[in-house]
Amino acid sequence: MKIMIVDDEQDVEILFVQKFRKEIKSKQLEVEFAFSGEEALEKLGSPESPNVVYVFSDINMPGMSGLELLENIKTRFPKIEVSMISAYGDKDNYNKAIKSGAKGFFTKPVDFDSLKKEIKEILNKN
């Protein structure tokens, strides 16, 4: 299963690779990274891009916000599950994300046990 992490902070790549090391090594999971909403859409729309089934995106990014990315993904790639993350657990962003079709909403710092549980659910569904 291939997932995509979208965050403008590039050091999250190291963190996610570290936290999912076992799943990546055993080939249960492939992780792709995009550092902006625009880059994520470009990669998702690329014919060379293997099928991504889950996107985990930050909400607050320069340029296209995570909420705008969510709406784009749900319009262009409706089968892809999307969860959002925010440094702020505010109700407004939560409501917008869920209303726009987000599967889940996480606050920073990421609860990796909950995230792994959500990814496992998607894995079992596919």
Q: What is the DSSP string of the chain?
A: -EEEEE-S-TTHHHHHHHHTHHHHHTTS-EEEEESSHHHHHHHHH-TTSPPEEEEEEES--SSS-HHHHHHHHHHH-TTSEEEEEESS--HHHHHHHHHTT-SEEEESSP-HHHHHHHHHHHHHH-
With CA atoms as reference, report the closest residue to 42 among 63, 60, 26. Answer: 63
CATH of 2-125, one of 3.40.50.2300, 3.40.50.720, 2.40.170.20, 3.30.2130.10: 3.40.50.2300
> What is the predicted pLDDT for the residue at 50?
65
- Is 25 a residue whose pLDDT tops 80? yes
> What is the predicted pLDDT for the residue at 123?
81
Are 74 and 82 a contacting pair, CB within 8 Å?
A: yes
- The domain limits of the chain are 2-125
- Is 89 a residue whose pLDDT tops 80? no
Q: What is the spatial order of strands in the sheet that 30-34 belongs to?
A: 30-34, 2-6, 52-58, 81-86, 104-107
Q: What is the pLDDT of residues 110-126, one digit of tens each?
A: 999 999 999 999 888 87
Tokens of 55: 């996107």
Confidence band (pLDDT; 50, 70, 90) for 100? Answer: very high
pLDDT mean across residues, the chain: 93
What number is the average pLDDT over the span 5-19?
A: 95
